[in-house]
Amino acid sequence: MTTLICTLQDHRDDVNWCAFSGSLLATCSGDKTLRVYNTRDFSEMPFSPLSGHGYSVHCCCFSTCGQFLASCSTDATIMVWSTVSGEIEAILEHPGRSPVRICALSPDSARLVSGASDGTLALWDFPSKQLQRTGAVNDTTLVACSFSPCSQVFMTGSTYGDLRLWDLDMRQLHVEKNAHDLGVTCCTFAPHILSGGHVVQFRLASCGQDSQLKIWAINKFSSGGYKMQLLHTLTGQTAPVLSCAYSSDGQLLVSGSVDKTVTVYDANNAVLLYMLNQHERYVTACSFSPTAPLIATGSMDKTVNIWRLEDGCRGQNGKSVHGRTAAGRSKMLVGDWSEEDVSVWLVEEGLGGLVEKFTTNNIDGTELLGLTKETLASELHIESVGLRNKLLRKVEELKNDSVCSGIPDEFLCPITRELMREPVIAADGYSYEREAIESWINTKNRSSPMTNLPLLTTLLTPNHTLKMAIGRWKTSH
C-alpha cells in the first residue's frame, strides 16, 4: 500500500528533478530555483529557495554525506551548494558553454559528471572542483547519467537513443545503440554489485520516449571487457517514461511518465506493484529516500508529491516494539535483541528456568551469542552440564538460522560470511568488510579472495551505498 502524505507546491514552473539525502529533499525547476526540505516534516529549510542560476535548473544531486548539493542549468553552469548554509561553494563552467542537462555525483563523492546539449561531457574532481577530462557524443544531447555503485564507471544516455558506458579516463567501454527508440530520458544504476566466478555484474534501469522502462545486466569480465544484456522490458505506462529511480536496497524501481502516472515495480521480478495517479500533468522526476520508505515525484503541474510505502517490511518504521512476536523478532539480527527478546526466546525453547539468571546478568542478543561453556558455568552458575549443552546448541541454531535465511547474501562479507559494518570495494569489484580484506591483502600477497587473480591495486573504496542499504535492512527487519 502507498499513501500520499503531502504535496509541495512552492515552485512556480515545471519541476524537473528531485533528490533525497539522508535528511533532506531537494527539488529544482524551470523557475530557476532549487528548494530544500527537511524530510522529518517536509518543512522548507530556512535558506531555501536557492537562487543563483540564470535559467531553468534541470537536475540536482546530493553528495553521499549530504553536505553538498550540485545542480546544473541551461545557463551552462554546475553550482555546488552547502546544505548547511545554502551558500554557493563553487560554480563550474561546462566546457563550450552549452546548456547543461544532467549532472551526477559518484557514490564515493570523488567525481562529478556533467552532460550538455551539444553532446559534450565533463568529468570533475569533486573535492577540488577542478576539471579532469572531457568527452563527447556527436550530434546529440546528453540527458541521462548515472555512476556505478563502485564509482569506477558511469553510463550516459542521449536523445539519439543510445546508452554509453565510460571509465574515468573518458574511454567508451560499451555502446548500446538504439537502447530506446526516439531517445533515452533517464538511466540509473542499482545500488548493488552482483558477483560470481570471473564476472562482476551491475544492474541498470533506463527509460525513454518509446514508453518503456528497461532493466539491463552489465557484466564486467576478468579480462576487462563489458557486455550489456537486456533482462526486462516493462510496459506499464502508455506514454514516454521520463524518469526512473531504484530504492536504496535495489528491490524497488519507480518511474514517472507523460501519461501522468507513477509506477512502482518489484525490480528483481519485474512485477508492477502500484500505479499512482495524483499528478495533473507529466511526471518528470522521481526519487527514493535512502533512509525511509518514501518516494518523491515531481511534475509539470509544478508540484512534488511525497508518498509513503506502507506494505510489509518496506512500510515499517523500524522502531523497537516491546512484546514482539516470534515472527517479528525473527526478522531482527540476534545481536540486536533486547534482554526481553532473549527472555521470551528462552521460554519458547523450553529454557524458562534460566530467565531469572539471564535477566539478573543483563544478557541481551549480543551477550547471548558470546556465551561459552566457561561463562555459563563460572559467571551464570549453571551447574547442569546437560542444560549448558542444550543452551549452546540452541544458540548455535540461532547463528545458523541468521546466516542461512535472515541476511541477504550480498550483505555478507565473502571472507568472513558475516554482516558487513564497513563495506569497501576492492580492485576486483567485490565488496568486503574493511578489516577482513585489509588482513587478507596483508597476508595473501594481494590476490583476490573471489577470483585468485592479482589485485591491480590495494586501494579500497568505501561502499556508502551498500552501507546505507545494510542500515536500512537492519531497521526494517
Q: What is the 3-state secondary structure (H, E, C) of 69-113?
A: EEEEECCCEEEEEECCCCCEEEEEECHHHCCEEEEEECCCCCEEE
CA–CA distances in Å: residue 86 to residues 21, 36, 79, 327: 15, 9, 11, 46
Q: Check residue 429 and give its pLDDT.
A: 83
Q: What pLDDT, on a 0 to 100 scale, did the predictor assign at position 116?
A: 96
Radius of gyration of the chain (CA): 24
Contact assessment for residue 22 and residue 44, using Cβ atoms and an 8 Å cutoff: no
Cβ-based burial of 316 (10 A; exposed 0-12, middle 13-18, buried ≥19): middle
Cis peptide before 49 (omega within 30 of 0): yes
Return the pLDDT at 384.
87
Confirm if 119 and 141 have CB atoms less than 8 A apart: yes
Beta strands across the sheet bearing 184-196: 184-196, 199-208, 213-221, 226-234
Q: What is the pLDDT of residue 222?
A: 81
CA distance 19 to 31: 17
Residue 242: the pLDDT is 97
Q: What is the pLDDT of residue 189?
A: 97
Q: How far apart are CA 407 and CA 399, in angstroms?
A: 11
Q: What is the pLDDT along the chain (477 residues), one digit of tens a residue?
A: 789 999 999 999 999 999 999 999 999 999 999 999 999 999 999 999 999 999 999 999 999 889 999 999 999 999 999 999 999 999 999 998 899 999 999 999 999 999 999 999 999 999 999 999 999 998 899 999 999 999 999 999 999 999 999 999 999 999 999 999 989 999 999 998 887 667 889 999 999 999 999 999 999 888 888 999 999 999 999 999 999 999 988 999 999 999 999 999 999 889 999 999 999 999 999 999 998 899 999 999 999 999 998 753 333 332 222 334 444 444 456 766 788 778 878 877 878 788 888 988 889 888 888 888 888 888 888 888 888 888 888 888 776 655 444 577 778 888 877 788 899 998 888 898 998 888 888 875 677 887 777 787 888 888 888 888 888 877 766
Q: Helix (H, G, I), strand (E, B), or coil: what is residue 215?
A: strand
For 421, residues 6+ apart whose C-beta sits below 8 A from its C-beta are 433, 470
Residue 348: its H or E element? helix 339-348
pTM of full prediction above 0.85 = no
Q: How far apart (Å, rounded) are the C-alpha atoms in residues 420 and 410? A: 9
For residue 292, the Cα-to-chain-centroid distance in whole angstroms is 12
What pLDDT was estimated at residue 202?
Answer: 94
What is the distance between the alpha carbons of residues 39 and 115, in angstroms, rounded to a whole number? 29
**In 3D, which of 34, 1, 51 has the Cα closest to residue 293?**
1
Maximum separation of any 2 CA atoms in the chain, in Å: 81
Output the pLDDT for position 120. 96
Residues in the chain: 477
The confidence score (pLDDT) of residue 196 equals 65
